[in-house]
Structure 1
Amino acid sequence: MGNNPAEKKSWQQSIKAPLSFSLVMALIAGVVATISATGGSNNPLRLDVGLVAFGVAFVACLLIISVMTMAGKENPEDLGAGSGVNRSSENPDKKSGH
């Protein structure tokens, strides 16, 4: 099942999307931190602060995305069958026969 190389994962199930998003957010954080920590155009760029902000933002974004991915799960099929309070999802305002 998981060892089959012919099995293709969708974009949502692969690691490319979280890595790409984390990379973009880390680049933005690194650039903003580098420019704002410089303190003006007369001073040299603070690449050390930018690299630290890049690393922290990358790890934090990746951690948050992975936790949210693990916490999310698909709804069971019987939820849409009207087994709840309203008994039918077609007419949610209709009162049941109590």
Structure 2
Amino acid sequence: MGNTPAEQKKSWQQSIKAPLSFSLVMAIIAGVIATISATGGSDNPLRIDIGLVAFGVAFVACLLVISVMTMAGKDNPEEMGTGSGVNRSSSTPDEKPDAKK
């Protein structure tokens, strides 16, 4: 049990909870600001409709940006950290790297 990838526990970075909660917080802030600013003073009623539209747009836009940034980022392969490379030693940049033994 717990051998399949679906059954294993994912880390916080791989989970969907972090982007959803961040998008929700940003959408609530956008909705509240839009509701208050669209009212136009304390004599007028609150414009809940504009606040809900701003909430929806901010939620979708924030979730879209986070998902695109998540898909664009990838880890470097392990073999990039090994080997001699070109000018790997900054103290002697003109020396020829040693041959593999």
Root-mean-square deviation (Å): 1.7
Alignment of 1:19-34 (within 5 A): 19-34=20-35
**2:78 aligned partner, one-letter code:** E
Q: 1:2 maps to which residue?
A: 5
Aligned length: 93
Q: Distance in 2 between matches of 1:68 and 1:27?
A: 22
Seq. identity, %: 76
Q: 2:93 maps to which residue?
A: 95
Alignment of 1:19-58 (within 5 A): 19-58=20-59
Deviation at 1:97, TM superposition (A): 1.3
The answer for unaligned runs of 5 or more in structure 1 is none
**2:5 aligned partner, one-letter code:** G
Deviation at 1:67, TM superposition (A): 0.8
* Greater radius of gyration (CA): 2
**2:95 aligned partner, one-letter code:** G
Q: TM-score, normalised by structure 2?
A: 0.82
Q: TM-score, normalised by structure 1?
A: 0.84
Q: Distance in 2 between matches of 1:44 and 1:93?
A: 70
